[in-house]
Each structure stands twice: as C-alpha cells, then as structure tokens.
Amino acid sequence: TPGRDDGAVVAERKTARIRPPRMYQVVLLNDDYTPMEFVVMVLQEYFKRDLETATHIMLKIHHEGRGVCGVYTKDVAATKVELVLAAARRSGHPLQCIMEAA
C-alpha cells in the first residue's frame, strides 16, 4: 500500500486473514433393507471408525433414523457422500447418505 509502512500492513492482515472453513456433517439415514454389517463396513472403510464405534453409530441410526458419521470440509464431505452412494448402489442396497451444514 503506497505511503504505508510495510510492517503495519503485515500486522493488520494477521488479524483478518485466517478463518476456519465452514464444516459439513455427513449423515447416514436408516432404511429397512441395508444389512447392518454393510453399514458397519461403510463406517470403517469411508469414515475410519473402529469396529466398536462403527457398530455404535450403526445402531444409533437403526434406532433413531439417522446418525452423523463425521464432520468435514465441503469437498471432503461431498466426496464421501458420492463414494458411499456408489458402494451402496454397487451392492444393491438402498442406503442413503446426505451432507448438511454443521
């Protein structure tokens, strides 16, 4: 900036430049047909949950209708939704997966 001291400009930017990205939760929905084991596999494979946590999340979805699998930046969440839907389609299961602003 003309007529300004460089040090002052750098100090100004330090307070404004870093902002956390908007986060999105990836949610699995319950249905009557997708096998429990398939949902547990999805939670392990695509959301990096251990067997115990994956089983707990699956049962929560089974009983409450939906459950949060993880919270990610927009692009990562969108990719996970597509990968899960593709895996479900490949296996012939009606499993639904959505993302929503956290």
Residues found near ligand TYC in the complex (CB under 6 A): 28-32, 34-36, 39, 58, 61-62, 95
Between 68 and 76, name the residue whose CB sits nearer to ligand TYC.
68
Helix, strand or coil for residue 34?
coil
CB of 39 to ligand TYC, least distance (A): 4
Q: What distance in Å separates the CA atoms of residue 49 and residue 36, rounded to the nearest whole number?
A: 15
CB of 28 to ligand TYC, least distance (A): 4
The residues pairing with 96 across neighbouring beta strands, listed in sequence order, are: 29
Between 39 and 81, name the residue whose CB sits nearer to ligand TYC.
39
Between 6 and 64, name the residue whose CB sits nearer to ligand TYC.
64
CB of 83 to ligand TYC, least distance (A): 15
95's CB contacts (< 8 A; 6+ apart) are 28, 29, 31, 34, 38, 39, 42, 84, 85, 88
